[in-house]
Amino acid sequence: MYNEKVMDHFMNPRNQGEIPDADGVGEVGNPACGDIMKIYLKVKENVVTDVKFQTFGCGAAIASSSMATDLIKGRDLEEAWALSNRAVAEALDGLPPQKLHCSVLAEEGIHAAINDYRQRRGLSPWQDDRREA
């Protein structure tokens, strides 16, 4: 069901764990499948210097979290915000159609963490005006 890259990120997840003194934390879930993702960010001078995740879910959810965190580490917040679920799925060499919602959760988790970071600093949250499936 899963390709080699998805299995690698599932079996050997990158950036797994938590950041106790995170600058921003986003938690999202999908009630239909039960997946829950928590994304932690450390930000310095508008750049994601560290990112970790904790995911309770299927292999695709864990792989999507792992890949998404890999893709935003070292990026500025605008670039991290722009990461789409489609880009996460493509970086994983594809996900089965019934598992694409896992890449959507990863995008939403990053957005939630960035907005938490912004709100902690008295800034208004960014809006997610583009929705890809």
Please give the positions annotated as active site.
33, 102
Q: Is 19 within 8 Å of 116 (Cβ atoms)? A: no
Residue 53, SS3? strand
In eight-state DSSP terms, residue 32 is: T
Residue 54, beta-bridge partner list: 38
List b or e across 18-41, with b for residues whose CB sees 16 or more CB atoms inside 10 angstroms: ebeebbbbbebbbeebebbbbbbb
How far is it, in rounded angstroms, from Cα 5 to Cα 8?
A: 5
